[in-house]
Amino acid sequence: MRIKINISFILFLFISIYLGFWQNALVIFFSVLLHELGHSFIAKLFHIQVLEIQLFPFGGVAVTENIAKYGGRIELVVALAGPFVSMLTALAFNFFGEGFVLSSIILKYNTALFLFNLVPALPLDGGSIMRNMLLSKYSYKNATRYMTRSGKILAIAIALYNITILIKGETNIAYIVAALFIFAGALKEEKNCSYIYLLNRNNKKERQLQGFPTRQLNVSRETNIRSVVDQLSPGNVCKIMVYDEKGNFKKELCEADIMDGFLKFGYYAKIKDIV
């Protein structure tokens, strides 16, 4: 695992040090690093490969193999780990940091990092947490859509706030940069979720044996494969019950059948092509 500092973060650190805010820059760097190490440590406990940690001025990203394929519960625990570390850091310096010169800055920034990351909006940790709580009722794609919409709304609200303070005479554009970071992350989550179901092809049978929650989808022979694909989720196992035009049960399909049909016949094929 390597640690990669984004060029924007390097520039941010140099500017902060140049302006005399080296203490704040130091606290931000190590607080973000600890937050992402929390994600990485828990991911490794689940034997998930952590490729690198990327650090940005307004947060970081622990780049792992796509953990969505392990199901909602594991992704939920990994998402909680970062805010939990930030909370513990803040509490530690609140109760035991008396006399340490940077205690107030560490407490302030880690509290902000903890609270902000719990906002239910992707790409924030809170968005991942809420998405995986929604998987019991919604597909992965729909749950992701709800959380990325929240992320876009949050980004627009932050940008508008920055415009407001600029109008009042302040020269701070940090919030606009943060808004762009959040909006771009939401778009990336939307793009990635369209292909999540392909990751489940080889481990669905194992999950079913492990007692993963089961959902039943009732479809007709004329149903488009894409309509079924949009309902698949890594957090549960779907049984697809196929009925004919008269409502008579014809066949039960598993997710592997749907994915094989997708690869063989295409996204716009129909269930009857599989049956």
User: Active site residue: 36, 75, 190, 255, which one?
Assistant: 36
pLDDT above 90 covers what percent of the chain?
Answer: 36
Go through the chain and tell me how many residues it has.
Answer: 275
The predicted structure's pLDDT at residue 197: 55
> Is-above-0.85 flag for pTM?
no
The residue-averaged pLDDT of 171-184 equals 85
Conformational region of residue 236, where left means phi above 0, alpha means psi within -120 to 50, and beta covers everything else = beta
Q: Where residue 200 falls among pLDDT bands split at 50, 70, 90?
A: low
Does residue 234 have a cis bond before it (omega within 30 degrees)?
no
The predicted structure's pLDDT at residue 210: 55
Mean pLDDT of the chain: 83
**pLDDT of residue 201 exceeding 90:** no
The predicted structure's pLDDT at residue 71: 55
DSSP-derived letter for residue 224 is B
Q: pLDDT for 62-92, tens place per residue? A: 877 666 655 567 888 999 999 999 999 999 9
Phi, psi (rounded to 5 degrees) for 203: -125, 10
Query: Between residues 12 and 107, which one has the greater pLDDT?
Result: 107
The residue-averaged pLDDT of 14-24 equals 81
The predicted structure's pLDDT at residue 209: 47
Instruction: Please say if 36 is a catalytic residue.
Output: yes
DSSP secondary structure of 124-136:
SHHHHHHHHHHTT
Q: Using CA atoms, how far apart are residues 235 and 192, in angstroms rounded to an integer?
A: 16
The region of weakest confidence among 26-30, 60-64, 141-145 is 60-64
**Cβ neighbour number for residue 82 with a 10 Å cutoff:** 28
Residues contacting residue 72 through CB under 8 Å, at least 6 positions apart? 131, 132, 133, 135, 233, 234, 235, 236
Q: Using CA atoms, how far apart are residues 147 and 271, in angstroms rounded to an integer?
A: 30
pLDDT above 70 covers what percent of the chain?
Answer: 88
Q: Between vectors from CA 108 to CA 110 and to CA 118, what angle results, nearest 5°? A: 45
CATH of domain 204-274: 3.10.580.10
Give buried/exposed letters for 18-50 (b at 16+ CB in 10 A, else e). Answer: eeeeeebbbbbbbbbebbbbbbbebbeeeebeb
**Cβ neighbour number for residue 2 with a 10 Å cutoff:** 9
Q: pLDDT for 98-143, tens place per residue? A: 888 889 999 999 999 999 999 999 999 999 999 888 877 787 788 8
The predicted structure's pLDDT at residue 205: 47
Strands of 214-220's sheet in order across? 214-220, 237-243, 249-254
Q: Where residue 246 falls among pLDDT bands split at 50, 70, 90?
A: confident
DSSP secondary structure of 53-117:
EEEETTEEEEEES-GGGG-HHHHHHHHHHHHHHHHHHHHHHHHH-TT-TTHHHHHHHHHHHHHHH
**pLDDT of residue 9 exceeding 70:** yes
